[in-house]
A and B are shown apart, each in its own frame.
Chain A
Amino acid sequence: MKRTLSVLVENRPGVLTRVAGLFSRRGYNIDSLAVGRTENPTISRMTIVVDGDEQIIEQVCKQLNKLIDVIKLSDITDDPHVGRELMLIKVNADPAVRGEIMQIVDIFRARIVDIARNSLIIEATGDADKIDALENSLRPFGIREVVRTGKIAMLRGAKTKGMEASGDGTGD
């Protein structure tokens, strides 16, 4: 079972290590992890896609929540959300097959961003299925290199998964 977790964390050095270390330490499988800062420069958002059964996912969420630098965690898999991934793919492209490739690129609403004598770089965004499909379609031409960012996601509608949902912890 794949779940998409949206995690707000403090934008501090070492936070990524803490999160990645937790996954390896507890033996969880991480599918992808994308991280970048949010509208608030002191906060970063991680989008983590993790694979495991219900019990494992529950533990992942609880253990992540225990990290002091994790501010808020939401499992957004079942909420309506926009999920996107960016892929750059370099394919063999003799002039003879370029037209065919460009047709595929159009179908997937991807873009060609670099042209060399015998190859092309294509940029595509979309959900994982679309990206996978594009990669499969290009495979017959010979794929030289693939770079993928991992999934990032945002809830649909006016709802946000921001700070307001979580209280500030205060002590004496």
Chain B
Amino acid sequence: MGQETKVRTGARAVMEVLQAEGVELVFGYPGGAVLPLYHELAQTSIHHILVRQEQNAVHAASGYARTSGRTGVCFATSGPGATNLVTGIATAYMDSVPVVIFTGQVPTSMVGSDAFQETDITGITIPITKHNYLVKDVEELPRIVKEAFYIASTGRPGPVLVDIPKDVALAPCQAPIPEKVELRGYKPTYHGHPGQLRALARLLKESRRPLLFAGGGVIASGAEGYLQELAEKIQAPVATSLTGLGAFPEDTPLSLGMVGLHGKPCANHAVMECDLLVGLGVRFDDRVTGAIEKFAPRARIAHVDIDPAEIGKNVRVDLPLVGDISCVLKELLALVEPAEHPEWLERIKILRNNYPLTYGRGGEVRPQWVIERLGEMTRGRAIIATDVGQHQMWAALFYGYTEPRTFISSCGLGTMGYGLPAAIGAALARPDRQVWLITGDGSLQMSMAELGTAIEQGISLKVLLFNNQSLAMVRQLQHFYYEGRYTAIKFTGNPDFVRLAECYGATGLRIAKQEEVVPALARAMQEDGITLIECLISEEEMVYPMVLNGAALNEMLLPE
């Protein structure tokens, strides 16, 4: 590619880059300004998935990217098409997901004149993209599109937006696709600094109570194998952040599970008791640390991340190490000696026994119990997409993830409505896998129209809907922080979700009793197509453990 220069339209040139990048599918929604791209897209072998609202095109691309490890792509038109993407882009940005977004724009001569369906989408998305472009010269288009893919997928991944005015897409383009990307302002650091690596090896050797804390960066760099090797070699327990679920198999003795405000008790206690905490591809988000001044009080903290700006942003760091987690762990493994920490592992065992994960009070059907059964029945090997709310936390705590890229959730931005489109993207990325969406009635309604997309695409998807007729996570906050004054959380106009599923041609099942749970799950696992299981649960269910504002991670509220 790129040797001979032939004249084709800008839109055609975009397709050439997409094909060169190996793009196999695009999520989108056509409209006036982006029609030139669609016109050419239809001439390629790239599969297009027509969503029902542009926001879900980004979410689906993000679900695809997270599941497959490849860059997700979406198309939208100018104006409302572009602004509808904003939440999806912000969601991908917060969770460092590689997505390239193409938006149509009004012709260059009209840019800035408040033309029909004109919006300054590059201005709007500056705070929520890794980078963005407004293409004004068609000869720059092949280079920019190639750069967009490069930037989105390298270093710390993230969304990149390319805004293409209609006349630019239609203009003749002579420029070839460049062979290489050359960006003088962008050069991620992959390899760890040798001195810092040696220092980390020394810290690990000195430590008697080491704790590895794995985040989304481990999964993004494909470092799960090295992580497992390291944990076993030095006999260190591993905790994860929400995005890190799946980075370390939860069915192994060294696994502690998720840390944080709703973290597992033994993981939270381990953070408070460890003498060395090695953060791997984590951001030490406020939902992880609790009261920052009380976080890991006895520990020295080492922080490995590809993004230097993350190191020292939230917690004090004793040993910073910039680099790609895979490279760093591989280099580190060569430097560390095998070690044993029998006392520490014994202590972990005691913590695990003293603080088991329990449910607390609830109704007839317990969502935690349902998710545990699902975990058993799928042996922790299904791909689980979630929405945001209580069910997200139950899915994080009770499923038991064993592989990376199997927990697909909006962790940083906490976007309700993410689940269904992300699950569709996941199902398209991994048709060989069972994909489950765990959702709630508030979240599902935010992107429910995508059931039509799922049906149209003929994918197989199972939806586990916990219906408590309310925004129950908000209710939980109002219970603890606002004197139990429950405001604006009751959904009295909820549809009959089973009938609704049937309107779209899906199978709908309703569960109101515990004995119905296992048969329903088993039936859904058998069915092709879309199956929705609605579980009626009590709005009084709470997510436990819960660390209140200002408390340390080991000061958890637990059910009586």
Q: Which residues of A contact B (CB under 8 A)?
A: 9-10, 14, 17-18, 21, 25, 55, 58-59, 62-63, 65-72, 163, 166-172
Contact = CB atoms under 8 A, between A and B. Distances in A.
Contact of B131 (A55, A68, A72): A68
Most buried by A among B134, B181, B184: B184
6 contacts: A59-B312, A72-B185, A168-B184, A169-B185, A170-B183, A172-B181
Contacts of A169: 181-188
A59 B313 contact: yes
A167 B183 CA distance: 10
A21 B182 contact: no
A59 B185 CA distance: 18
Contacts of B309: 59, 62-63, 65-66
A145 to B, nearest CB: 31
B151 A17 contact: no
A104 to B, nearest CB: 45
A70 B309 CA distance: 14
Contact of B127 (A25, A66, A167): A25
Contact of A171 (B126, B134, B150, B312): B150
A80 B186 CA distance: 28
Contact of A167 (B122, B181, B187, B313): B187
Contacts of B308: 62, 65
A21 B127 contact: yes
B163 to A, nearest CB: 11
Q: Give chain B's interface residue range (CB within 8 Å of chain A).
A: 20 to 34
Interface string B471-501: 0000000000000000000000000000000
Interface string B181-221: 11111111000000000000000000000000000000000
Contacts of B151: 68
Given A14-B122, A68-B151, A170 B180 contact: yes
Nearest to A66: B309
B307 interface: yes
Nearest to B127: A25
A168 B309 CA distance: 20
A145 B172 CA distance: 52
B154 interface: yes
A166 B150 contact: no
Contacts of B313: 59
A25 B309 CA distance: 15
Given A58-B312, A62-B308, A68-B151, A168 B126 contact: no
A170 B147 CA distance: 10
B154 A68 contact: no
A25 B126 CA distance: 10
Contacts of B187: 166-169
A59 B310 CA distance: 9
Contacts of A17: 123, 126
B185 A171 contact: no
Contacts of A25: 127
B130 interface: yes
Nearest to B158: A66
Nearest to A58: B312
Given A59-B313, A62-B309, A171-B150, A71 B185 contact: yes
Nearest to B130: A68
Nearest to B308: A62
Given A168-B184, A171-B181, A66 B307 contact: yes
